[in-house]
Structure 1
Amino acid sequence: MYYSSTFARCEVQALAAYNAGLSIEAVQQKYAVSRVAKLGSNENPLGISPNALAALTAAAPLAALYPDQSCSLLRTALAHKLAIDEQRLVFGNGSEDLLSIICRVFLDHGDHVVTILPSFGLHIIYPQAAGAQVIGVPMGSDMRIDVQTLMAAVTPRTRLLMFSSPSNPVGSALTGSELQYIIDHLPAHTLLVFDEAYFEYANGEAGYPDALQLLQNSQCHFIVLRTFSKAYALAGLRIGYGITSDPGLAQLIDRLRTPFNVNRCAQAAAVAALADVQHLTQSVTHVRAERQRMETFLRERLGLNPIPSLANFIFFESPLAADSVNQSLLQQGVIIKPWTEAGYCQYLRVSVGSQQDNSHFMQALEHALQR
């Protein structure tokens, strides 16, 4: 008897499934709760910008037409904002789409990818799917990236050095001197994929570097990834972008992306969201205030030790197994993300949501730990 898995490449058969988290509907149905605080996917609790919503509505009647495959209006707007050549930009159906394309373009069997642990799951799954070996470098005891150990893991077989800053799931970020150390020790044969999905939340925080400027002043080959899913609140439209060190890298990525990978409505909403500075400022201000309130509660009320975060989420260790805490929270209508990587199975990541949802989480967590 033949099984469907026999048709797949061996690398795909061995892949772990990505944990995308639960939906509100699924939790309501399973646990019979009337209200759910969805704090597992790092979404913007303020929702879409009114300007972006208007642009989305205006674009909807043209949904029968294929979108601009080059994202021309958004490309021009971003290039102006970032003061870079338009030809250095690439666009994807979310930055996850670009991660997948990058791995298919630059990786082959036998190549190595170095990343950090704990890790964003797709930084591991996509390279493995391409046949590469992933070398995970654990963070230091302070849950910060150990740049010396990280660079010591880079070998002549390392094709990509790929990680996020601020880190997902931890929330800590590189300083300017730490990034400069990486730049100074990155060999010419290794491409740096610097995932800044949470850039807008960290930008302007004390000690957070202008990574793009540092990289542009170097001789490194790099791709900086950013997204409209988080601070710009367009997660449901799926649109992300990359800034390459030179147009040649962008051309290689464009060879493997599907021609119309960013839909018309997403492009229109992204142009409007990029211009709506007020909504972005409100979103970041809300997250910073609520993040501090949640961190203080975890530390002072529950005696926990949340990792200082520059993103819109908090990573913390529980005295109980993360799965058991998570089950108790789900029963109380709270969705967060328990971490399942080896060595981090007592850690949980909670998104910073609305004031009401955050309070719901804090009350539910206190109850879960008391039980």
Structure 2
Amino acid sequence: MTAPDLLALARPEVPPLPIYNAGLSSEAVRARHGVDRIARLGSNENPYGPSPRVAQALAGLAQQVLWYPDADSSALRAAIAARSGTTAAHVVVGNGSESILQMLCLALLSPGERVLAQRPAFGLHEIYPRMVGAGVELLDLSPALGFDVDAWCAALARGPKMAMLANPSNPVGCMFGTAAFARLLDATPAGTLLVVDEAYVEYARLTPGFPDALPMLRDRGSAWIVLRTFSKAYGLAGLRVGYGIASDAALVQLLDRVRTPFGVNLAAQLAARAALVDEAHMRQAVARTVVQRDAMARALQAMGLRVAPSATNFLFVDLGRPNGPVNEALLALGVIVKPWKEPGFTQFLRITVGTDEDNALCLQALRDALAC
């Protein structure tokens, strides 16, 4: 029997899509290089972990896993709404904020419609729109590795169906300040959905001039959604839970029609609710990380490297040479970072800010790798 041609069965949008680069696990690096001490600085995780209240909330989980979770995540949505000055009807939760990105594309985009995104960008800002046949216009950074506000305003004025606006940016770390963000809002037509991806908002709030997006958006009549996550500052990356705050309950209802039932598991719902109760733990970890980030940036600059301004828990570092050999040398020394692979940025590493010990290991390994 002749094997089927699976590519012939595929939708035409799918074969050209890249496979998302999730990075290497600690286990893979240990197996490849035989190292015991590993610094995980590739995925922008919080090295200090979640609040102790999370462990308390999960203590009795084994007796509950026979039941499906609340499909609507009702208690978690109510808790998020209470802290965001909105109602649960305006809140959507998902298996990480990227699942909400996918819902938005499934619910709202048709083949041939146009989406704006940044270059370089979080890969799914481009992959998910292309998955449904939409076109993606990628906007370049300014020479100073910041957002080009004029280019964004001009592109928004042309009326895309959706704009994926990460503030602050991943992987660069730059941000739109309050005045620039206001300009973007003024430039956004009524028919454009503005998707403001604030995955790193808890870190960015410590940067002077970072906009308080929700009240600025609420003053407008246009359609928007702000995406946030528990994976970064709250230390829950392994449980996968993110959320969106929407301009209108009708948008949440549209997303409900395309989301996976029971998409946020019981452990994730319990842990996220517990993490919200202990905001002090999160803020302490964030403040510590910001201090370490700035110290690490100074150390990298002292090595002669160009470092993009960052309002996040990571640094985007220009090596001035191809990043592949340097990355392999770092892996052999037990340091996992993320070498950027987008054309035009293959000389950059994105380095998560870790503990003091991890940061010191990374800096010394990088000195050794660059000396080769």
TM-score by length of 2: 0.97
Q: CA deviation at 1:57?
A: 2.2
**Does the aligned pair in 1 maintain the 2:157–2:188 contact within 8 Å?**
no
The one-letter amino acid paired with 2:282 is L
Is 2:81 aligned against 1:79? yes
What is aligned with 2:354? 353
What is aligned with 2:315? 314
Q: Which runs of 5+ in 2 are unaligned?
A: none
**Does the aligned pair in 2 maintain the 1:166–1:202 contact within 8 Å?**
yes
The one-letter amino acid paired with 2:371 is Q
What is aligned with 2:326? 325
> 1:80, 1:331 → 2: CA distance?
47
**Does the aligned pair in 1 maintain the 2:119–2:139 contact within 8 Å?**
yes
> 1:204, 1:319 → 2: CA distance?
30
SS of the equivalent of 2:296 reads helix
What is aligned with 1:186? 188
What is aligned with 2:203? 201
Residues 320-342 of structure 1 deviation map (CA, whole Å, 9 limit, x = unaligned): 21111111111111110011111
> 1:57, 1:349 → 2: CA distance?
35
Provide closer, same or farther for how the CA distance between residues 347 and 153 of structure 1 changes in structure 2, counting only shifts above 3 A. Answer: same
What is aligned with 2:216? 214
**Does the aligned pair in 2 maintain the 1:170–1:315 contact within 8 Å?**
yes
Residues 244-299 of structure 1 deviation map (CA, whole Å, 9 limit, x = unaligned): 00101111011111121111111011000011122102210121111011101001
Q: CA deviation at 1:55?
A: 0.6
What is aligned with 2:289? 287
What is aligned with 1:140? 142
Q: CA deviation at 1:176?
A: 0.7
What is aligned with 1:122? 124
Residues 57-78 of structure 1 deviation map (CA, whole Å, 9 limit, x = unaligned): 2334211101111111111111
Aligned-residue identity in percent: 45
Residues 15-45 of structure 1 deviation map (CA, whole Å, 9 limit, x = unaligned): 0111100000000101111211110000110
The one-letter amino acid paired with 1:184 is D
The one-letter amino acid paired with 2:164 is M
The one-letter amino acid paired with 1:272 is A
Q: How many residues align?
A: 370
> 1:319, 1:366 → 2: CA distance?
14
The one-letter amino acid paired with 1:275 is V
Q: CA deviation at 1:157?
A: 5.9
> 1:220, 1:175 → 2: CA distance?
20
**Does the aligned pair in 2 maintain the 1:40–1:349 contact within 8 Å?**
yes
SS of the equivalent of 1:137 reads strand
**Does the aligned pair in 1 maintain the 2:191–2:222 contact within 8 Å?**
no
The one-letter amino acid paired with 1:175 is G
What is aligned with 2:255? 253
RMSD: 1.2
Once the two structures are overlaid, the 10-residue window that deviates more, 315-324 or 52-61, is: 52-61
Once the two structures are overlaid, the 10-residue window that deviates more, 327-336 or 150-159, is: 150-159
What is aligned with 2:243? 241
TM alignment of 1:105-116, pairs within 5 A: 105-116=107-118
The one-letter amino acid paired with 1:225 is L
TM alignment of 1:12-27, pairs within 5 A: 12-27=14-29
Provide closer, same or farther for how the CA distance between residues 157 and 9 of structure 1 changes in structure 2, counting only shifts above 3 A. Answer: farther
> 1:264, 1:115 → 2: CA distance?
33
Q: Which runs of 5+ in 1 are unaligned?
A: none
Q: CA deviation at 1:156?
A: 5.4
The one-letter amino acid paired with 1:320 is R
> 2:7, 2:327 → 1: CA distance?
31
What is aligned with 1:5? 7
Q: CA deviation at 1:5?
A: 2.3
What is aligned with 1:336? 337
TM-score by length of 1: 0.97
Residues 198-250 of structure 1 deviation map (CA, whole Å, 9 limit, x = unaligned): 01111142111101111111122101000000000111101000000010111
